Structure 1
Amino acid sequence: MAIHKVPPTKTILLDYQKQLSLAEEGYNLLDRKREVLLNELMRYIHRLKEVQKNAYADFVISLENFKSAYFKMSQEQIRDVLDFEPQKPKITTTYRSVMGIAVPEIVQSETYPQKKPSLDDSIADIEEVHQKMRQSVLNLIEYANIYNAIMKLAAEINKTRKRVNALENIFIPDYNDTINWVKDAIEENEREEFFRQKTVKKRVRRNA
């Protein structure tokens, strides 16, 4: 805590009372911002765990299906599968504002029909492999976006927390202490002035 060394005047008192009011208002807004960001961060962390779990599950399923299909395919079919380059998914990303922070979000993933390797229609496992691997890619892209959002939110929360702590532990207490000191000094000066005037009046009456 520190008292600002300022002239103990009513003008200074009013100025510091205004500064205190602004500091308290800023504290309330920043504290609210911190709570909103924390809630948003927890939502993203929960979603990140879901996406991670889904991506792993899709990958495991596609791997098992590929193993199953591998033993059913001829060497030529295996070469076709290995040489096949699937079309990359097209991702549309937008940004939404969370307390002034631009947070990325995947809003759409466009899919297009594509030529598949020539395989026997009876081998359904390989089709499942394509679908699951494609979904795994989408999950990984979403994972990267969510992770980026978490990092941005965490950085902003840390910055907001420092501001809240500074207001709560430094600025607001300093303003309060300074205001109280100025009030006490003004009251002391007024008492001294009152007694000085009273003494002057007594001397005037005595000399009259």
Structure 2
Amino acid sequence: MKLKMPPTRGNLVKAARAMVLAQGGHDLLEQKRQVLMMELVRHMDAAKSLQKDMASVFSGAYESLQRANVSLGIDTVEEIAQSVPLVSDITVRLRSVMGVEIPEVDPVDPVPIPSYSFHSSSSAMDKAYLRAREVLSLLARLAEVETSVYRLAVQVRKTHRRVNALEKVVIPANREAMVFIADVLEEGDREDFVRMKIAKEHRPGGRN
């Protein structure tokens, strides 16, 4: 991208100011990109760890559910499951990281509150209920981390494009404009100097 500016001293000052602003913006965006990248890597590591834990917890929960089905029968387990209230009190807060809103989910207590009669249940059912609660707790945490990863990744890409635009387009164009204008002005100054010298030599009393 070439900046089309008439080679005047005023435009040279404008180009110099634009260069200062572009370089300052570049430095700030580069710092922002580094902070976002560190935050992104941290959340990606957390997501990998949670995904491993999730596989283990899901496996344990499924196994516990199978045992409860064998112990009480599928119909009874379904009836007990219907008595368990839906979880609707999950609190999601937002915190800003370099302008990116990152969700923070309040921890879900993995220990369930009894909501069915122990008379009609069994220890296998209690264990299945406990495992299901552990799954819910991990799912809430995983949703928080994966949403953060997505939002951070999107912002990192946007910031990277802006940094590249400044590095490869805006700053070089301003630098080229400054060099061009400075060269033209310098050439004009030399021509003016030569003309003044010639005019002075041809004045009466000057050198012939």
Q: TM-score normalized by structure 2?
A: 0.86
**Aligned CA distance change for structure 1 residues 115 and 132 (closer, same or farther; 3 Å):** same
- Residue 95 (structure 2) aligns with: 96
**Aligned CA distance change for structure 1 residues 179 and 134 (closer, same or farther; 3 Å):** same
Cα deviation, residue 148, structure 1: 2.2
Task: Work out whether residues 65 and 128 of structure 1, in 8 Å CA contact, stay in contact via their aligned partners in 2.
Answer: yes
- Residue 137 (structure 1) aligns with: 136
Cα deviation, residue 51, structure 1: 2.0
Mapping 1:172-187, distance limit 5 Å? 172-187=171-186
- Residue 13 (structure 1) aligns with: 12
> CA–CA distance in 2 between the matches of 1:58 and 1:116?
23
> CA–CA distance in 2 between the matches of 1:178 and 1:60?
65
- Residue 115 (structure 2) aligns with: 115
> CA–CA distance in 2 between the matches of 1:80 and 1:70?
8
Give the letter for the 1:128 counterpart: K
> CA–CA distance in 1 between the matches of 2:119 and 2:53?
28
- Residue 49 (structure 1) aligns with: 48
Identify unmatched segments of 5+ residues in structure 2: none
> CA–CA distance in 2 between the matches of 1:207 and 1:36?
69
Residue 81 in structure 1 maps to residue 80 in structure 2:
no
Task: Work out whether residues 34 and 160 of structure 1, in 8 Å CA contact, stay in contact via their aligned partners in 2.
Answer: yes
> CA–CA distance in 1 between the matches of 2:120 and 2:160?
61
Identity across matched positions, percent: 29
Which SS does the other structure have where 2:166 is aligned? helix
Deviation per CA, 1:125-164, whole angstroms, max 9, x where unpaired? Answer: 3222111111212322332332222222111111111111
Residue 146 in structure 1 maps to residue 145 in structure 2:
yes
Cα root mean square deviation, aligned: 2.3
Give the letter for the 1:148 counterpart: T
Deviation per CA, 1:42-70, whole angstroms, max 9, x where unpaired? Answer: 11211222222222211211222233344
> CA–CA distance in 2 between the matches of 1:168 and 1:207?
54
Give the letter for the 1:191 counterpart: R
> CA–CA distance in 1 between the matches of 2:41 and 2:165?
25
> CA–CA distance in 1 between the matches of 2:162 and 2:90?
37
- Residue 35 (structure 2) aligns with: 36
Which SS does the other structure have where 1:6 is aligned? coil
- Residue 157 (structure 1) aligns with: 156
- Residue 196 (structure 2) aligns with: 197
Identify unmatched segments of 5+ residues in structure 1: none
Give the letter for the 1:173 counterpart: P
Cα deviation, residue 119, structure 1: 4.6
Give the letter for the 2:92 counterpart: T
Cα deviation, residue 206, structure 1: 5.6
> CA–CA distance in 1 between the matches of 2:128 and 2:59?
10
Cα deviation, residue 202, structure 1: 0.7
